[in-house]
Amino acid sequence: MSATLSLAEDLIRRPSITPADGDCQARLRERLGAVGFECETLVFGDVVNLWAVRRGAQGREGKLLVFAGHTDVVPTGPLPEWTSAPFAPTRRDGKLFGRGAADMKTSIAGFVVAIEEFVAAHPRHAGSVALLITSDEEGPSVNGTVKVVEALRARGERLDYCIVGEPTSVDTLGDTIKNGRRGSLSGRLRVRGVQGHIAYPHLARNPVHMAAPALAALVDTVWDAGNAYFPPTSWQISNYHAGTGASNVIAGEAVIDFNFRFSTENTADTLKARVADILARHGLDAGDYTIDWHLSGQPFLTPQGDLSDAIGAAIHAETGVRAALSTTGGTSDGRFIATLCEQVVEFGPVNASIHKIDEHVALDAIEPLKNIYRRTLETLVA
């Protein structure tokens, strides 16, 4: 059994449903401490985070490459639907099964073993290496990576490169590197009308009708055309609630939940302003509605450069695959790290089974994944 597979199985068998860590980070501290890392546990609320760093020969003047990830996993779902127990790592049909196998305990195991091999081969490496690990990525993401980044910023820490071990590959290991993510801006629009009898509409004011022209305009709006890295910004309604359930009552209020996934061609403030303008142009006065906004992530982008070139070359050397750069998908903790680090990419195993029953990774992808991480270290900080 390879060291990477062994560690991945060790982590998987530790139940760590968010925000629990299941002592995964204690195991990482043990392994990293043995190869000269200074390991620090940072606790915020009920979330345990790990910051571990090994300074290179150039000290703080050298480049710092950070591996970032999360030990928490999503709930298992119905246990009887699993072919094997989710926290009992199982090898069958050429795959490793278990909750967190793809998202993202195998990546973390790859980080650690890659680092161990790198340090053994380059004990006097020039640059520095660090791990930033949280147990709050699958949850609300308020006491995890974002808080660690704030603490590092307050200390004056400089991060040069960061690889987030999210499962980014689509069909085969190495086909996709995420070099950015769209921003996510949600809103809850409450349109106030006047409740009344449906047979006497002149005595009521229907908020569904009031909102309809503006909603149609929001659906038809082209927010931007995207750019070379991002698709166009999208606006989608996720929920629409109105009425009492009776068929003869005009609702007094309509509540519409919506979300923007936006590119770097827009900002949260410009989108908010454009929504207000569209509502006004379609008959909704400021007294007719309220919007509660929630910005869960700014867009970030790492243009092609040292980091993407290094990991792309490592992927090709190890697998023969030419990776594509992509910004598709949801949000990740990369959005927090990008506020402190100019070059952030995400790379990990195939993501087809993440968050599903019988989550898994291909056994023959585990060693190549670790080797890609090690090759990238050798290129950037040896």
Q: Which amino acid is at 380?
A: L
**C-alpha atoms less than 13 angstroms from C-alpha of 203 in its C-beta half-sphere:** 6
Helix, strand, coil content of the chain in percent (nearest 5): 35, 30, 40
Distances (CA, A) of 102 to 94, 254, 277, 342: 14, 41, 44, 26
Closest alpha carbon to 72 in 120, 116, 23 = 23
Cβ density class 30-53: b for 16+ within 10 Å, e for less: ebbeebebebeebebeebbbbbbb
Query: Residue 346 is which amino acid?
Result: E
- The dihedrals phi and psi of 3, each to the nearest 5 degrees, come to -60, -35
368: three-class secondary structure by DSSP: helix
Largest CA distance in the chain: 83
CA 139, 269, 226, 280 torsion-angle sign: positive
- The number of residues making up the chain comes to 382
Task: Answer yes or no: is 138 a known binding residue.
Answer: yes
Confirm whether residue 359 is marked as ligand binding: no
72 classed as catalytic: yes
Q: Where are the alpha helices (DSSP H) in 189-267?
A: 207-220
> Residue 328 CB: number of other CB atoms within 10 A?
14
Distances (CA, A) of 171 to 4, 84, 240, 348: 22, 24, 36, 12
Active-site residue, 137 included: yes
355 annotated among ligand-binding-site residues = yes
Q: Please identify which of the residues 9, 116, 136, 137 carries the catalytic annotation.
A: 137
C-alpha 7/C-alpha 98 separation (Å) is 13
103 appears as a binding residue in the annotation: yes
166 belongs to an annotated ligand binding site: yes
Q: Known binding site: residues?
A: 70, 103, 138, 166, 355
Q: Residues within the annotated binding site for Zn(2+)?
A: 70, 103, 138, 166, 355
Which residues belong to the active site? Answer: 72, 137
